[in-house]
Amino acid sequence: MDKLPIYRRLAQHYQEAIETGTLRQGDRFPSIRVLMARHEISLSTALQTCRQLESDGWLEARPRSGNFVRQPRRLSAPALEEPRHGQPLDPAQYVGIHARVSDFVARGRQYPVKVNFSSARSAPSLYPGEALKNAATRALRLNPDLLVKPAPANGNAAFRTVLAKRAMMNGMVLAPEEIVVTQGCIEALNLALRAVTQPGDIVAVESPTFYGLLQVLETLGLRALEIPTSPHSGISLEALELAARTHERISAMVVVPVLQNPLGSIMPDANKARLVEFCAAQDIALIEDDTYSALTNGDIPQRALKSWDRNGNVIHCASLHKILAPGMRLGWMNAGRWHSRVEMLKYVQSRNNEELAQLVAAEFMASSAYDRHLRHLRSNLKSQRERSAEAIAAYFPEGTRLTEPAGGLALWVELPAGCSSKRIFDAALAEGIFIAPGLMFSNSNRFDGYIRLNCGAPFTREIDSALKQLGKIITLSASL
């Protein structure tokens, strides 16, 4: 128990108070300020305590009202276990990961898919399509030559100004001129890695990690060092520090500190600060993928790794793909001390982004409608995750584990012992159910016993039925 972080110990303390009836359902939970004073803890620890209780289903955050006690859902699967740190950390070449992912994508296109759990995005109905369409009409009316004149270098000035103002909420102080607009976060990651590495270099990554990153690493000829990552607190700093001492030089690392894909973990602020300091001291370029932080439960923004950066060693990469409009493919980055190099790489790689989408996003993000949209999106995603998690607990066989994240689009599910995600993928696809097998989130077979399930679509009878059918498939596989 003493080895648990302070926020976990406090969360267990309040969970026991709820279970024993000291705190009852509907009671107002102590405020962040009260928690800080009562337990002599930092703001970061108090926030993490509340997020842990909310993630476990014991608290409900109500906008502008605070946190209230609730009873967790009737059915829940056991939580995921912490990663084993005894596994060897050998740099992998990632030979074949692109072929593996390509086969997964191609097969999904060949079969008639009834329910798609494989992606990590919301349903179109959850995005502000009408408002964005109206903003596009206004932009074209006010700028009749917009589609026939060259777009500005590095991005539209108004859009970059809005991004800089929004970044302040995450603790970053950026000048608009320090922002480069990209084709989504994946281009930003490409540019960042090209700016700080050479073919053959070692890049530290979370394990498991997003398969798109693995494809990028293979394409650039980079070797990856998989670092064990907790479903609760993110990448293991102890394992990273050990790897830095025992392996040849690590040139860069890529990390998703908030709502890590696929685990959904959130790094405590103390860990974020420690990671930034460690990478700066070791001269390891730190690349931050901030795709999902706007999707955390509640209205309290998450601090970015970049907010602790004092020497330009953190490259911040972000995207509007998941939170505003997948069709726009808008991303952005601040490259720190590599800004000039990234500018030139961007010019060589893809030139300037088209301007219409940037003007549309700038208008919408500068208004209060954007904040209302985010609150609505987070609320819907939370409900969809909860209902999906309850269905998994009801339909999947004994031995299934998952930890419901405090936000985001997906659930990372551990299958019962002996189940293979590849076999489950094949059997589910034959039934018209498309899932993301754990094999894709590592170059090793370490995560063949896991699957990632998207919760971005409204929970319907069709989705409930698909999860029930998937449970039958897994039950059959577990019995073989």
SS3 per residue for 231-300: CCCEECHHHHHHHHHHCCCEEEEEECCECCCCCCCECCHHHHHHHHHHHHHHCCEEEEEECCHHHECCCC
At 61 the pLDDT is 83
The answer to whether residue 304 is domain-embedded is yes
Exposure on the CB side of residue 370, measured as CA atoms within 13 A? 17
Task: Give yes or no for residue 76 having a pLDDT over 80.
Answer: no
Closest CA to 156 of 370, 322, 332, 288: 332
Determine the average pLDDT of the residues in 98-115: 84
φ and ψ at residue 66, rounded to 5 degrees: 105, -165
pLDDT above 70: residue 95: no
Q: Is residue 79 part of a domain?
A: no
Between the CA of residue 147 and those of 354, 357, 469, what are the distances in Å? Answer: 8, 11, 48
Ordered alpha helix ranges (H), 56-208 = 97-110, 129-142, 157-167, 184-196
pLDDT-derived band at 104 (thresholds 50, 70, 90) equals confident
Q: What digits encode the pLDDT tens for the residues 248-266?
A: 899 999 999 999 999 999 9
Q: Is residue 160 part of a domain?
A: yes
- How far is 256 from 8, CA to CA, in rounded Å? 21
What's the pLDDT tens digit per position in 289-333?
999 999 999 888 999 999 999 999 999 999 999 999 999 999 999
Dihedral sign, Cα of residue 83, residue 84, residue 85, residue 89: negative
Confidence tier at 85 by pLDDT (50, 70, 90) = low
Question: Sorting pLDDT into bands at 50, 70 and 90, what band is 190?
Answer: very high
Residues 254 and 319 in one domain: yes
Tell me: pLDDT of 93 over 60.
Answer: no
**Token pair 């020497």 in the structure block, residue:** 311
**Same domain? 379 vs 365:** no
Residues 155 and 108 both lie in one domain: no
Name the more confident of 134 and 17.
134
Give SS3 for 183. Answer: strand
Distance, C-alpha 80 to centroid of its chain? 17
pLDDT at 428 over 90: yes
Closest by CA to 71, choosing from 31, 26, 28, 35, is 26
Which of residues 307, 336, 369 is at a domain's end? 369
What domain range is 392 assigned to?
A: 98-126+371-479
pLDDT reading at 81 higher than 90: no
Percent over 90 (pLDDT), the chain: 80
Query: Facing residues of 69 across strands?
Result: 59
Q: How many domains does the chain have?
A: 3
Cβ neighbours of residue 78 closer than 8 Å, sequence gap 6 or more: 400, 401
Distance between CA atoms of 80 and 212, rounded to whole angstroms?
24
Per-residue pLDDT for 139 more than 90?
A: yes
122 and 141 together in one domain: no
Question: Which residues are CB-neighbours of 340 under 8 A, at least 6 positions away?
Answer: none
The yes-or-no verdict on residue 102 having pLDDT over 90 is no
| Nearest-angstrom CA–CA distance, 478 and 480 | 6
Q: Are residues 179 and 216 in the same domain?
A: yes
Which of residues 369, 386, 408 is at a domain's end?
Answer: 369
Note whether 289 and 386 are same-domain residues: no
Query: According to the model, what pLDDT value does residue 3 have?
Result: 67
329: left (phi over 0), alpha (psi -120 to 50) or beta: left
Whether the pLDDT of residue 346 is over 90: the answer is: yes
Q: Tokens representing 13?
A: 């303390």
Q: Is residue 444 part of a domain?
A: yes
Report whether 95 contacts 217 (CB < 8 A). Answer: no
**Cis amide linkage into residue 83, ω under 30° from 0:** no
So what's the pLDDT on residue 327?
94
The enclosing domain of 210 has a CATH number of 3.40.640.10
Judge if 317 and 439 occupy the same domain.
Answer: no
What DSSP designation does 155 have?
S
Instruction: Report the SS3 class of residue 458.
Output: coil
CB-based contact 324:187 (threshold 8 Å) = no
Q: Which residue has the tokens 């109905």?
A: 125
Q: Do residues 396 and 411 lie in contact, with contact meaning Cβ atoms separated by under 8 Å?
A: no
> Can you tell me which residue has the tokens 């509907």?
26
Residue 74, domain member (yes or no): no
Is residue 254 domain-resident? Answer: yes
If residue 61 lies in a helix (H) or strand (E), which one and from where to where?
Answer: strand 59-62
- Computed over every residue of the chain, the mean pLDDT equals 93
Give the CATH number of the domain where residue 113 resides: 3.90.1150.10
Residues 140 and 235 in one domain: yes
pLDDT for residue 235: 97
Which pair of tokens denotes residue 437?
A: 């097998």
The mean pLDDT value for 156-174 works out to 97
Q: Give residue 1's pLDDT.
A: 42
Are 453 and 411 in contact by the 8 Å Cβ rule? The answer is yes
Q: Residue 48 belongs to a domain with what CATH number?
A: 1.10.10.10
Q: Are residues 292 and 261 in the same domain?
A: yes
Residue 92's pLDDT is 65
User: Under 8 Å CB-to-CB from 400, ≥6 apart: which residues?
Assistant: 77, 78, 392, 393, 413, 414, 415, 416, 474
Note whether residue 363 is domain-resident: yes
What's the pLDDT band for 427 if we cut at 50, 70, 90?
very high
pLDDT (tens digit, 9 = 90+) per residue, 392-416?
Answer: 999 999 999 999 999 999 999 999 9
Q: Binning pLDDT at 50, 70 and 90, where does residue 205 land?
A: very high
Do 324 and 375 fall into the same domain? no
Cα end-to-end distance, the chain, whole Å: 37
Residue 202 maps to a domain? yes
CA gap 356, 362 in Å, rounded:
10
Q: Same domain, yes or no, for 213 and 331? A: yes
Distance CA 382, CA 378 (A): 6
Among residues 351, 369, 387, the one where a domain terminates is 369
Residues 232, 324 share a domain: yes
Provide the percentage of residues in the chain whose pLDDT is more than 70.
97
Q: At what angle do helices 356-365 and 368-395 cross, to 10 degrees?
A: 90
Q: Which of 263, 247, 237 has the alpha carbon at shortest distance from 404?
A: 263
Q: What is the pLDDT, as a whole number, of residue 2?
A: 52
Maximum separation of any 2 CA atoms in the chain, in Å: 68
